[in-house]
Structure 1
């Protein structure tokens, strides 16, 4: 066999090997993270009490403040207590200002009022959409003695697409905290 024959055989083999189905890119998909429903536990401080997710690790801080830590999600809900002493307007302004400090990075901030007249708990829940540092903020008060604020933060660079499932899960926990919060006299 001469070189011409080897060359023809090589070309024919190349065509036979290269023939086949076209390579198609895989369709885009989203990661599906599911978090288990968890039983609720009651947390009692000297000033207030509420139900929380039993997966949270509780850290009681000074001045009746509490941190609910969720290590698997790398997130925490920080809850701060302040007494109302003829400064309700100032406390409300600070809570609203804190929520709207995230407007620079947020795509949208949705306000959801909360009213529980029976137990004297009134407040606002702020859902923060986008790559903001906090994905949720809230405050509750009885308007005369007690004022509680809360914030949800993740120990990760804010990337809304990545933390979305965990943010939704913990926002449900925050709503449960607001709904079950009772003042202690």
Structure 2
């Protein structure tokens, strides 16, 4: 029997490399933890005919004609508010607000409607929760049916992937609902 040096060296290196392993340990189960601050709300008021509460973590930018962009810089989201005066056009305003929401039905898994009525402040409206990979996950409109009409929608600066951004969407959606429910018309 003849000993071949090349095969012997290969055999010894293979044994040495294969015997120097560390035991493989399974990784512990983990989940992504996203902590958001507890929302503290402050009343926002300016020259527009309505006031509302906003989270003290946001940046409010006033647009033209009493519209607002409410920025969430840490979550890369913005709530857009639009104001329109009512002058014999309430049916058209309502139709447009509902149409805007239901344009998302193509990508949405479900759209839940939550009517809102505040008789004391004369604020009436609808809050929409849009589930799924739609561009917006929440919208609303409120009106006094006589003079004022406000719509709101939230958009994230990310591709809509509902599962990935769900904690942030829930947080901003709750803020948006609080904003809608705190809205009051100025006298």
Per the shorter chain, which TM-score range? 0.7 to 0.9
In 2, the alpha carbon distance for the partners of 1:165 and 1:70 equals 14
2:16 paired with 1:13? yes
2:79 paired with 1:86? no
Listed as ranges, the gaps of 5+ residues in structure 2 are: none
Alignment-derived partner of residue 69 in structure 1: 71
Alignment-derived partner of residue 112 in structure 2: 110
Instruction: Name the CA shift for 1:47/1:144 in 2 (closer, same or farther; >3 Å).
Output: same
Alignment-derived partner of residue 97 in structure 2: 95
Q: Normalised by the size of structure 1, how large is the TM-score?
A: 0.87
In 1, the alpha carbon distance for the partners of 2:106 and 2:127 equals 19
Instruction: Name the CA shift for 1:43/1:15 in 2 (closer, same or farther; >3 Å).
Output: closer
Q: Which stretch has the larger CA shift, 97-106 or 36-45?
A: 36-45
Shift of 1:12: 3.2
Tell me how many residue pairs correspond in the alignment: 183
Shift of 1:56: 1.2
Mapping of 1:147-166 within 5 angstroms? 147-166=149-168
Superposition RMSD in Å? 2.3
Listed as ranges, the gaps of 5+ residues in structure 1 are: none
Q: Which stretch has the larger CA shift, 110-119 or 91-100?
A: 110-119
Shift of 1:7: 4.7
2:47 paired with 1:42? no
Shift of 1:167: 1.1
In 2, the alpha carbon distance for the partners of 1:58 and 1:131 equals 26
Q: Normalised by the size of structure 2, how large is the TM-score?
A: 0.86
Shift of 1:165: 1.6
Mapping of 1:112-131 within 5 angstroms? 112-131=114-133
